[in-house]
A and B are shown apart, each in its own frame.
Chain A
Amino acid sequence: QKEVEQNSGPLSVPEGAIASLNCTYSDRGSQSFFWYRQYSGKSPELIMFIYSNGDKEDGRFTAQLNKASQYVSLLIRDSQPSDSATYLCAVPSTTGNKLTFGGGTRVLVKP
């Protein structure tokens, strides 16, 4: 089992809809989780991080964490064509020295 797993997609959503992305992780000791957005040919850009069970909202983005079920999700409300990118879930190691990334979910927002 991979340490961090994501559905590779592509996830196709119409403009204005909600995009829902999921990420599961294997280490029950993981404490925090990061979501990055990566446009094609560009570097990862931090969107948000979450470390408490429940929801965390930032603008059109909401991260949801369920430690008991070992998954974290990202919702993108009112999706825009500019949201078309690959979204990467990342989990810090227990030492904090490194981030383990999932393979990413490619999102396509169609006008």
Chain B
Amino acid sequence: NAGVMQNPRHLVRRRGQEARLRCSPMKGHSHVYWYRQLPEEGLKFMVYLQKENIIDESGMPKERFSAEFPKEGPSILRIQQVVRGDSAAYFCASSSRPRGPNTEAFFGQGTRLTVV
């Protein structure tokens, strides 16, 4: 959905560098979800955030990955010391209320991270 804005669309990093992925949710949405899609695989949940709070980070790797959603500005997914296995498409989704059984979440266009 065009309303969820992610940037950059494509990001190339050398091994060991840091990657910062940004997500601006749809207007009026305060719930953000990050998913990762490895090549030829399905989407995997990473983290769910509300403004200034991490609600569920059960899908986040224990090391090198962090996420935030500050009071002002976009949500940031940060990957430190990237490795080639981090190469994937990272999608952000947002919703207007906490996810429930029937709550829709709209996806951004994704950031495609390539680690060389």
Residue A25 CB within 8 A of the other chain: no
| Cβ of B18 under 8 Å from chain A | no
Determine the chain B residues whose CB is within 8 A of the CB of A100 once the complex forms: 45
Given the known interface contacts A32-B101, A42-B109, A51-B101, the answer about A97 and B56 at a Cβ–Cβ threshold of 8 Å is yes
Q: Can you name the residue of chain A whose Cβ is closest to the Cβ of B47?
A: A98
Chain A binding site: helix, strand, loop or mixed by DSSP?
loop
With beta carbons under 8 angstroms apart, the residue of A49, A97, A98, A99 that contacts B102 is A49
Minimum CB–CB distance from A34 to chain B (whole Å) comes to 8
Among the 9-residue stretches B36-44, B70-78, B80-88, the one with 4 or more Cβ atoms under 8 Å from chain A is: B36-44
CA distance A51 to B104 in the complex (A): 13
User: How many residues on A have C-beta within 8 angstroms of the other chain's C-beta atoms?
Assistant: 22
Asked if B64 is at the interface (CB within 8 A of a chain A CB), the reply is no
User: Is the beta-carbon distance between A46 and B101 smaller than 8 angstroms?
Assistant: no
Mark contacts of B3-46 with chain A using CB atoms, 8 A cut-off: 1 yes-contact digit, 0 otherwise: 00000000000000000000000000000010100000111110
Name B55's contact: one of A88, A97, A99 (CB within 8 Å).
Answer: A97
Assembled-state Cα–Cα distance A14/B24 (Å): 40
Among the listed A43, A45, A46, A98, which residue makes an inter-chain contact with B56, where contact means beta carbons less than 8 Å apart? A98
Residue from A42, A43, A49, A100 whose CB has the most chain B CB atoms within 10 Å: A43
Cβ proximity bits B43-59 to A, threshold 8 Å, 1 near / 0 not: 11100100000011011
CA distance A98 to B54 in the complex (A): 13
Chain B contact residues: helix, strand, loop or mixed = loop
Most buried by A among B56, B101, B103: B101
- In the complex, the chain B residue whose C-beta lies closest to that of A100 is B45
Indicate whether A103 sits within 8 Å of B107 (C-beta atoms), given known contacts A51-B101, A97-B99.
no
A88 B48 Cβ-Cβ under 8 A: no
**Chain B neighbourhood of A95, CB < 8 A:** 56
A residues apposed to B, CB below 8 Å:
31-32, 42-46, 49, 51, 88, 90, 92, 95-104
A-B pairs, 9 with minimum CB distance? A96-B99, A98-B45, A32-B101, A97-B56, A31-B101, A103-B42, A43-B107, A101-B43, A101-B42
